[in-house]
């Protein structure tokens, strides 16, 4: 695997590596993204199981 692999799995973006940038129009600010702060909808996993 390449040292910088933005696509760690076939067809999926590794957002932790790519760290996309967002633009907020009202304040004309750029925001850094990429850190995982926690899982979303853990209860959904239990329902599917």
Per-residue pLDDT of the chain (49 residues; tens, 9 = 90+): 455 566 666 777 777 777 888 999 999 999 988 777 777 776 666 666 6
The pLDDT of residue 43: 65
The pLDDT of residue 10: 73
Please give the structure tokens belonging to residue 13: 């973006």
SS3 assignment for 1-46: CCCCCCCCECCECCHHHHCCEEEECCCCEEEECCCCCCCCCHHHHH
CB atoms within 10 A of CB 15: 13
């Amino acid at each position: 695997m390449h040292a910088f692999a933005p696509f760690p799995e076939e067809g999926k973006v590794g957002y932790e590596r790519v760290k996309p940038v967002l633009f907020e129009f009202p304040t004309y600010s750029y925001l850094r993204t990429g850190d995982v702060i926690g899982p979303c909808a853990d209860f959904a996993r239990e329902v599917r199981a």
